[in-house]
Structure 1
Amino acid sequence: MMCLKLIVLVAIFAAGASGDLEFTFNGFRSANLSLDGIAEITPDGLLRLTNETMLQKGRAFYPMPITFKNSPNASAFSFSTTFVCAMVPQNPSLFTHGLTFAITPPGGLPGALPYPYFGLFNDTSDGNSSNHVVAVELDTLQNREFDDIDNNHVGIDINGLRSALAKSAGYYQGNQVHNFSLGSGKPIQVWVEYDGRAKQMNVTVAPFSVGKPSKPLLSFPHDISLDILETVSLGFTSATGSTVSTQYVLGWSFKLNGVAQELDPSKLPKLPRVGPKRKSRFLVIGVPLISIVSLVIVLSGVGYYVLRKRKFAELLEDWELEYGPHRFHYKELYLATKGFSEKQLLGAGGFGRVYRGVLPNSQGEIAVKKIYHQSTQGMKAFIAEVVSMGRLCHRNLVPLLGYCRRKRELFLVYDYMPNGSLDKYLFDNPVHTLGWNQRFEVIKGVASALFYLHEGWEQIVVHRDIKASNILLDSEGNGRIGDFGLARLYDHGTDPQTTHIVGTLGYLAPEYVRTGKATTSSDVFAFGAFLLEVACGRRPIESKAPNEDLALVEWVFSWWSRGEILEAIDPKLGKDYVIEEVDIVLKLGLLCSLLDIEFRPSIRQVVRYLEGSVALPELSLLTLSTAGLIVSRSEGFDDFVLSLSNFEGNSGCSSITNSTISEGR
């Protein structure tokens, strides 16, 4: 018997070395694969790469090294392979992890890690040309670190997990692509074919019941001779992450310099039934009396563990119990942001740092703002308002999902906006800028959301920090107001309370600075600065020289006073804009920037002006009034004033008295 096994192994090695290797496994019960990690062959003949163990890898290779080219500098042989696999989630509502078919150095790369590296690479080896790895990945998770196109794609990988070519999973019928789910738990068949003469790799995938499509999903012209060694290992790899799923291979056929034999469906092993395991008869029928004693001991131990865990858990005060559904656990956010890693940092400002995260057991991405709060009583009032604002619902607001409190640290949790903040598309020579149509839609969306905050909800919400850096763009490019960390609520028909002055220089209304009372009108003042920065591509205050700053509203006013207000438009727009819309936005920015709170438009008026349902009042040079703009005295400006007699809802404007403006106002 030992001699027979030795003869078989020698024959396998000789076939691999000769360059004409061929094998077919309709199930793996008798296969002598080289297994690594948690990979195993089940009694039914299934190759199970992963199981219900988290953060583990599973790899299975053909048992002998295979000669893929005659010499190190020779061309790789042609080959053809097909296999049937299935990715089965532990719970149908959860996602699965993918698998790869890989050509690697003998035995695979050392130090390979589980998710997200598929058991192929690690954080230092990924992307190295010295890896000598060519792989086809079936990926069911979108990882932005590797520029994945979506969470259901097939890719060809060369020495790293940033695919050289990738497409969403699908198969051709004629010229039409039919998409399907890789992680459905149903069998999938894959064909990988490489033409050594034409230097091209084709990858075809389809549900097992469909058969082989006539056209491959991926056609990749590339000479893999440059990427693989003379002698290689051939096999499958997979890994589990924070959630578990099981990856199976049911059958595998391979041939060098020819077409692989088709697998026989009648001989392939069956997948296990999906669902809860049947309880053993021993546990169902009965348990001896001694088991009751054991159960009491176990329950006592669990009770002691729970009490001890509660004793040392994060502090949860009685007043927070009513906010339970809105409160995140610190551990949950810590894991989601990878320990608030610098790699997850989206931005930082005067009021905190913002991190990107992925909630455990879901594909939902979040943004977590980490801030510090001084007093316990102030924290209590602040959280009460945060939870209230969590009920806000408008398509142009970033959803505030909840909060987390740990000692004096406060974490606000938002939906993640993939396109980031608006300011990075406006200032500092952006790589990509926004056209006028998209800017105008963002302006109207922000105005609509601000109207909802001021008038459309059960309470008045004053945001207190409207600016381009707090306007986020969702996946469709819609503008959404974010960062409610400074917002304040008060009931309709009541006066706002005096608070500490918070916000950003250049957006603060003068009466807010003077009284400390943030109102809807102070939000409108900030919105005016926002209108001008979006239209002009400039910040509200910019340095001209040391100790000398230029106010944007003053600069726009100077162009208007010369009858050339369109000269203030962002030069990056060129001539591609609508004159009437630009004219309205610039003039409305000046109107919202009036010093006198009585003469600014309300957000309701602003929305109607932007929609064109009400004409914007004309601006004219009259006597400078107390309702004027913050501008510097200069020749020709002494007779400036805004005529507000046409302002909707404002009476008594014709009685404005003459005055002058002091230097620097």
Structure 2
Amino acid sequence: MFYKLLMWFLLMRLAASEGDDDFIYNGFRGANMSLERAAKITSNGLLVLTNSVLQTGLAFCPIPLQFKPSHGITQSFSTNFVFAFVPQYPNVSSFGAIFVIAPSKEFPEGQLGQYMGIFNPKSIGNSSNHIVAIELDTVLDPEFGDTNENHVGIDINGLNSIKSAPAAYFSNVSGGLKNLSLISGEPMDVWIEYNGVQNQLNVTISPIDVPKPDRPLLSLMVDLSSIVLDDMYIGFSGSTRTAPVSHYILGWSFKMNGRARALDHRHLPRLPRIGPKKKSELLKIGLPVIVPFFTLAVISAIGLIVRRKIKFAEVLEDWEREYGTHRFSYKDLFKATKGFTDKQLLGVGGFGRVYRGVLSASKIEVAVKRVSHKSRQGIREFISEIISLGRLRHRNLVQLLGYCRRKRELLLVYDFMPNGSLDRFLFDHPKSMLRWSHRFGIIKGVASALLYLHEEWEQVVLHRDIKASNVLLDSEMNGKLGDFGLARLYDHGADPRTTRIVGTFGYLAPELTWTGKATTSTDVFAFGALMLEVACGKRPIDPRSLADEEMLVEWVSKCWRRWTILAAADPKLGLDYEVEEMELVLKLGLLCSHPSSAERPSMRQVMQFLDRDAPLPDLSSDGLGAAILAVGHYMGSHDLRLSYPSSLEQGLAKTASVEESVLSGGR
């Protein structure tokens, strides 16, 4: 017994650190780590940064290291770690992880999601942060100028990479570049090396079964002496949101003024098993012997299986197999919504019911919309469009996760938004009034999403149904644009070919009545109506209002020309708003509602106005007031008959609702 204890002690000494600035962990069992939020160490020695939805985990060495012991020059250092990002569903990503060098190991103001628990909108990019980070990012975030949704980057004081590249490694055999998928679920080696004499920072990555590449993926000439303080903490941060991805660190070594020791891959802890366990050989051999004794039971079971197959039968054609990763089984959705019971019903839109559900495998809350389709013609085109929209990734878009077809039903699966629609908070007398700070943040969020749809994605996406009921609010009251039932896609530089009027009365641009062609400018018009709606607390057209307030855009224009434009502000706010922000939103809403599409700004210009990066044009100089009155007359004298694009009409039998799409927690 004494010798066993002695051997265990020696092994622990070998696995643990030899000093604060020179250590190696082949697994983290017994390691001295400071763990925050979701981070933990499993019984077999895995360092888990995140393992479920909406979580961030931080793991740091508890004692700071001396990076500049003398002369104010940052020492050379080297680190090697093995990581694995394991998604619940293949190729479904959710942010990633970063290696961090920071003056603190605690970040109480660090936000979840894309801010990795380290930064927040106010602190990101500040030179006072003194943070160096190497990011392993699996989401394309235009806000941070990401290369793609699978990249490695070097960050200074923020998450806008100074240098980045798609995840890959240079082969020592062929010299060629071989791509890597960070969310493959396979362990990978990372080496980070800084030469304090040459001021050179190198980042190298490769699968663990491949020797360290001679050529690094990233190499940056940078003097860290002005960034790194004398004493700094080192560690990791991981973040997941919406998609269930577990972020693991299997081993870690570090050395100041030298090369970090190589990790022993044979002694690294194993990752948790994904999928069903393999059947034992004993079962394979014994099964033929046991089967005869259960013949009667098998016959009964067959009857049950047949009945269950009929109950959960789906429509699955050969062309749909290419969309397998985006298709849910009806059985899983049936279980998630507890059989589509009325207790799970969130609401009823124009062409479908929406149910709340929890996916049993991942415990993700979802909203499932059930709609009917009567025709096979056009459904393939529509499903293809659904999959394209499902690849949209933006923090202010409601994520379309996938679909299911069964008999004459189509089921669309979305992220669940716990705070319901913006429409409810503005008009349905909620328990708490929506503060101006939230309203302004929602306006900027939706504007950012539209800029992404119009200019920053691989195709141009026209939403065509922007309104308050299609803006959903998450748990932190962030606005997310949803319901893409009327959306159309076309290539950048191409001419959109839509010739049918679709949308919601009150948000339709005047030119739609004679051209029938939706453009990014018609989306801007609808966004202008939304801005006025949020600022004034009135619907774009409300027959119940006073005669001169029935047309919202006309009412705001009159307030601007006759009194003060602030007279149009929502009276429920009182004076509890920022005057400059309110004036900006009201005037920008009028500008976006200009009857001439040529006079409306693009969404990029709208974002510049909202961010105060560009001055708002002088509205009084272009006769906008009279033009707005013309818009009010146009809205008040036209009875528009809305119709639907042929692909949706044929494929979904008008499933896209022009009424409220309820993907949220309110009825």
TM-score by structure 1 length? 0.49
Greater relative CO, 1 or 2 (CA 8 Å, sep 6+) = 2
Bigger radius of gyration: 1
Could you state the TM-score of these two structures normalised by the residue count of structure 2? 0.49
